[in-house]
Structure 1
């Protein structure tokens, strides 16, 4: 696999606080990598170091074949970066915004490039509409069109669908997969588990440390979390009873179902045995979800006073 990004030991501190701590990763061409983690975990800082917007305090590596410390200008010219906040001009039309971005980049053949971006993102029929009149989903399409106007090789998306309705999020992700299918490499930070599951691989960061990475299947398998689901009345009361029993690491509600998880399968089964005998409760062994894994990861971190304990260090 050709590595578009290959970095090792990245660290970054602000005001004496280390916000990225010894992050190493390899990213393959045409792949979609999801960055997950709580707010303040270092996701955005990591993305900005990878694309040359920030210089790491220490660590080495390359992005698009260029050194991340000494050749950041070359990386930035070949990267599209979409921030969380819509940053285009709301008093310009869609086409006027793209024309402006193209001139900032100094792009030649601008009409062709704008027409292509409008067509790729389905914006052609709306090209004369003011950006300020667009819904959140259409604004995201416009922002993405601006990011790909200069035909980058790498696309970095920082929580691109925050506040966007589910259909618009799905449409946006369909576009991302189409771009990846054409060879564009994508790194995206997100809080949505359904979006993480649409990535080829995921990377979970907490307190600046990369503590899990790989395919969804690999990450779930690496944490060997035994899981039961239970349905019945008064689940909020049942949750309180279960969460302090031996062998039960986490109890989380998913609609009308509780997921009861633990890493010691025998201890977990002993603790839930009396409850499985109750006629009003319906128990079923289930596979852990990605969200179950992340809830467990955060519980581990909280139990260690904010010190993440890496479990999956596979490059």
Structure 2
């Protein structure tokens, strides 16, 4: 195996038992996470699941209360400062100065990283993200998609080996989202590792692998097909003009774990095949309702997972959840 191939097989993130508590509640509760170099890993979960807290621990901004491991070969606990210099972190909210131009913002970030040739670094970042013609424009006047490009350029200006992106495409249009993901895969092809949190299923499908977290705990991991197969869900699709009216009654039926609308159809999912068949079989006799088997998709699986997870913000929850 040559050096490049060996690097691609190495782990950019390798942490075990990662834990963070606030007020006695575990926001992140014993998370194990491994991501190979040059891979795009999707980090999924509902709001308050612990994704942001996990990302902040990985990039050295938060100190874990427990856990061990390495990021880019550096010890998570001892080498937080060194990790920060090799990681690009893109926050959920646009974090640059809106009253500065694109170039001024990038120059400011280059100063923070004490880059030797700031002008060249800024020029390269502008060119890489297609920002050169807009470099004099104030950041506050940019659309969501262009702000996203600027934020990514700021993440890349110091040539990091790992990108941690926290819901980077929230609030941008579909074309900007597609362009962004094309850029992400170009970076991964160059050996940069990417951990990206998202709520969009179409984005999850573009990741090499996925990790699903809820209430601070990892519930599923693997490729899309591995996660769907491991869930063991049986799914029936209800279609026709009478299907929508059956949603609420089905949610209370034995064996039904989730009922989700997909356009004019309903996906009814559960792990007990016999009980699920009993729930949907009578509906096939009703006028305006067509019942057929369907393959589970990621959204079916994740809705089912969150339905099974314990809400640790509830009255009886023993643990805690955070963003």
TM-score range, shorter chain: over 0.9
Give 1:107's match in structure 2, choosing from 115, 118, 132: 115
For residues 175-190 of structure 1, the aligned pairs below 5 Å read 175-190=183-198
**Structure 1 segment 123-142 matched on structure 2, within 5 A:** 123-142=131-150
Instruction: Please state how far the C-alpha of 1:233 moved relative to its aligned partner.
Output: 1.9
Deviation at 1:138, TM superposition (A): 0.2
Stretches (4+) displaced over 3 A: 302-308
**Is the partner of 2:127 in helix, strand or coil?**
helix
1:156 equivalent to 2:200? Answer no
- Name the CA distance, whole Å, in 2 between partners of 1:259 and 1:302: 23
Please state if 1:281 is matched with 2:289.
yes
Q: 2:43 aligned with 1:35, yes or no? A: yes
Is 1:5 matched with 2:13? Answer: yes
Q: Please point out which of 119, 122, 126 is paired with 1:118.
A: 126
1:74 matched to 2:94? The reply is no
Q: Residues of 2 paired with 1:33 and 1:295: CA distance?
A: 20
Cα-to-partner distance string for 1:86-113 (whole Å, 9 max, x where unaligned): 1111122111211111112110122222
**Structure 1 contact 155–186 (Cα < 8 Å) conserved:** yes
In structure 2, how many angstroms separate the alpha carbons of the residues matched to 1:196 and 1:106?
A: 35
**Aligned with residue 247 of structure 2, among 225, 239, 263:** 239
1:52 aligns with 2:63: no
Residue of 257, 270, 279 corresponding to 1:262: 270
SS of 1:168's equivalent in the other structure is helix
Q: How many residues align?
A: 308
Moved more, 269-278 or 129-138: 269-278
Instruction: Specify which of 87, 91, 112 is matched with residue 83 of structure 1.
Output: 91
- What is the Cα-based RMSD across aligned positions, in Å? 1.7
Q: TM-score scaled by structure 2?
A: 0.91
Once residues 192 and 59 of structure 1 are traced to their aligned partners in structure 2, the CA distance between those partners, rounded to angstroms, is: 29
- State the SS of the aligned residue for 1:143: helix
Q: Is the 8 A contact 1:207 1:307 kept in 2?
A: no
| Unpaired stretches in structure 1, ≥5 consecutive residues | 309-315
Structure 2: distance between partners of 1:166 and 1:264 = 37
Distance (Å, rounded) in 1 between the aligned partners of 2:203 and 2:296: 17
CA distance in structure 2 between the aligned counterparts of 1:201 and 1:148, rounded to whole angstroms: 22
Could you tell me which runs of 5 or more consecutive residues in structure 2 were left unpaired when the two chains were aligned.
1-8, 319-323
Aligned to 2:321: none
Q: CA deviation at 1:302?
A: 5.1
Query: Does structure 2 conserve the Cα–Cα contact (< 8 Å) formed by 1:118 and 1:124?
Result: yes
TM-score by length of 1: 0.93
For residues 55 and 101 of structure 1, what CA distance do their matches in structure 2 show?
23
